[in-house]
Structure 1
Amino acid sequence: MNYDLLIDAGNTRIKWALAAPGAALGDWHAQGAHMHADAADLPPALAEAVSRLGCDPMGDTGSAVGAIGRVLIANVAGQAVRDMLAGWLAAPQLGISPQAIEWFASVPLRAGVRNAYRNPAQLGCDRFAAAIGAHALAPGKAIVVANCGTATTIDAITADGTFLGGMILPGLGLMASSLAKNTAQLPQIKPGKLPEGFANNTDDAILTGCLAAQAGAVERAFELHQAVECIISGGAAPYIAPAVPVPHRHVENIVMIGLHAVLRSA
């Protein structure tokens, strides 16, 4: 049995998942997430997951030969992270053929989604993957997908699968940290639950303002697109989603779901 390995290398974290053949979207056999500072923990975690697959007999190097048949990677973290991942995936204990590895890129058409960006290749591959994932989860619907990470991206996909474009704004953490860095007396806050009503202290006032900005951008995109549903994902989604006033659902790992949809469509 050949498993699919999906990797989403973002600006803050590297996430991975193993999917069995025929598995439903988002149904992972194993998964992990590692901050860039702790990226050295990824190879042993992945090697341990591969060793538990129980596929083909172990080779001379102790690798699960043929356990991983395809690898699809979305990397927006730069060349250094790409080189690091390439080195890790070449480890003998993983038993991955170099020909099995694909670096996902934005193209005019893939997995039922047409990329209508002015220059299709300029679209961030994570945004394209998220759009593919959202369309796969909500086929036949005009939808907005908001991926709330280091940056927040909010994109529109038509019912027939056309990626129209969208918005990019600082993520929730960046908004808060920019106030702390560029003002004399405002504190650095941590994301938290949306306060009720008007905030009566500075920390809650900052949090309320940042959450309102994020939720307002999602609402604006939803109304502009005349969408019927919004999919919200990313590390800050648990904080932002409750503030969003339009129909929505929280979906974890929308980029990897999109990568999974790509491989399922191949």
Structure 2
Amino acid sequence: MLLIVDAGNTRIKWALVDRSASDQTPGHWLQSGSVARTDAHLLADAWRGFHIGRVMLSNVAGQELRGELENAVLHVLGTRPVALEWFTSAAELGGVRNLYLNPTQLGADRFAAAIGAHALFPNRPLVVATCGTATTVDAVSADGHFIGGMILPGLGLMATSLAKNTAQLPQVALQTSLTQPFADNTDAAIVSGCLAAQAGAIERAMAAQARAYPNETVSCILAGGAADLIAPHLSIAYTRVDNLVLIGLHKVATQHSPTC
């Protein structure tokens, strides 16, 4: 059994892959789940009972969480000698070539998401928008080149920043429903502005990709916990996909054997 883990700043997602199954399509899993970042101690119970023979993890939430993940995995494995493979960005993995000036500087989650998106939607230029604690908007070419991208504060972070740093502005619930772009009260105006900024960044990236590939149809892949709040405010077509990082890790695991 292959265990893949995507540890982000807000949630930890995981999936178990039956390596003996005939269908090894990335995203086809035996079981999957997620917990809040603060509930990492619950993972060992979720994984207990499965014969895990390989583990691949992506962690962008720091050394403390890395230690918690190691403890959870080792608690389940016991004395079985299974190496933990920590996914990091490289010059090329999973069918995607990394064009970052320093390929290892690219966030592991962004590279894994790009790999996952290219695996699901090959041979077409992509904009991969992941809307989480931060919003990342990345460009991938049809032949699998990670071109680069944008990073901006996520939807919740934008609203919180306004509330904390502007004395007269309140903290607002992002679930506020909006029927028009120009709000008639301050709470709704904050939400409208934050949503417009998020949607605008994605639409701007799509326009840039369309200019770069005038004879091809560019696809927008939308992922992340805040994607469903942002999606209704997009004026472009998009495809909503969950667990892009896990899909990317699955793709890499099927193409690359463990190094130790």
Greater length-normalized contact order (CA 8 Å, ≥ 6 residues apart): 2
Counterpart residue type for residue 187 of structure 1: P
- Which of 255, 258, 263 does residue 245 from structure 2 map onto? 255
CA distance in 1 between counterparts of 2:191 and 2:151 reads: 19
Aligned to 2:10: 12
State how 1:154-165 maps to structure 2 within 5 Å.
Answer: 154-165=137-148
CA distance in 1 between counterparts of 2:81 and 2:63 reads: 18
Q: What RMSD in Å do the two structures reach over aligned CA positions?
A: 1.6
Q: Does 1:218 align with 2:202?
A: yes
Instruction: Give the match's secondary structure for 1:90.
Output: helix
Counterpart residue type for residue 30 of structure 1: Q
Aligned to 1:76: 60
CA distance in 2 between counterparts of 1:134 and 1:257 reads: 8
Counterpart residue type for residue 225 of structure 2: G
Instruction: Give the match's secondary structure for 1:105.
Output: coil
TM-score (norm 1): 0.88
How many residue pairs get matched? 246
CA 1:96–1:161 in 2, change beyond 3 Å: closer, same or farther? Answer: farther
1:53-77 superposed Cα distances (whole Å, 9 cap, x missing partner):
5xxxxxxxxxxxxx22221101111
Counterpart residue type for residue 16 of structure 1: W
- Which of 66, 72, 76 does residue 88 from structure 1 map onto? 72
Counterpart residue type for residue 6 of structure 1: I
Aligned to 1:176: 159
CA distance in 2 between counterparts of 1:265 and 1:83 reads: 27
**Unaligned stretches of 5+ residues in structure 2:** 211-216
Q: Does 1:29 align with 2:30?
A: yes
Is the Cα contact below 8 Å between 2:12 and 2:34 reproduced in 1?
Answer: yes
Instruction: Give the match's secondary structure for 1:83.
Output: helix
By how many angstroms is 1:190 displaced?
Answer: 2.1
1:159-202 superposed Cα distances (whole Å, 9 cap, x missing partner):
00000010000000000000110111211112226511122222
**Unaligned stretches of 5+ residues in structure 1:** 54-66
Counterpart residue type for residue 172 of structure 1: L
By how many angstroms is 1:20 displaced?
Answer: 2.0
Question: What percentage of aligned pairs have identical amino acids?
Answer: 55
Is the Cα contact below 8 Å between 2:24 and 2:254 reproduced in 1?
Answer: no
By how many angstroms is 1:263 displaced?
Answer: 1.4
Instruction: Give the match's secondary structure for 2:184.
Output: coil
